[in-house]
Amino acid sequence: MDKVFIAGLEVLCTIGAYEWEKGIQQKLVFDLEMDFDNRPAGLQDDLALALDYATVASRVTALVQSEPVELVETMAERVAALILQQFPVPKVRVRVTKPTAVVTARGVGVEIVREA
């Protein structure tokens, strides 16, 4: 199966379990990989047949910013569900990195794989 990916999608949102995090915005970085048959779009050079990654990125950003959550795990599940429900993909891999969670690390987070 072909893949469509979005690497390094940065979104400011309210996320965190600690009280001090509930009043600020923090950056999350999303890496998304979606199974999708790219042949029809590639053969016909037609965006209507492609998985429009700009639309995926826009909807993910809107979801992430729509309401605060405490856990990156919750955010990953919500993003995976959105993609599987709103786009014709049978499988999605969602990696969520919280770059500022651990001062001595470049980032921490989770990666999940979900199927329709």
Q: Which positions are catalytic? A: 98
What order of strands is seen across the sheet that includes strand 91-98? 3-13, 26-35, 91-98, 108-115
> In one letter, which amino acid is 70?
E
Strand partners for 29: 10, 97
Are 21 and 15 in contact, with CB atoms under 8 Å apart? yes
Q: Is 98 left (phi over 0), alpha (psi -120 to 50) or beta?
A: beta
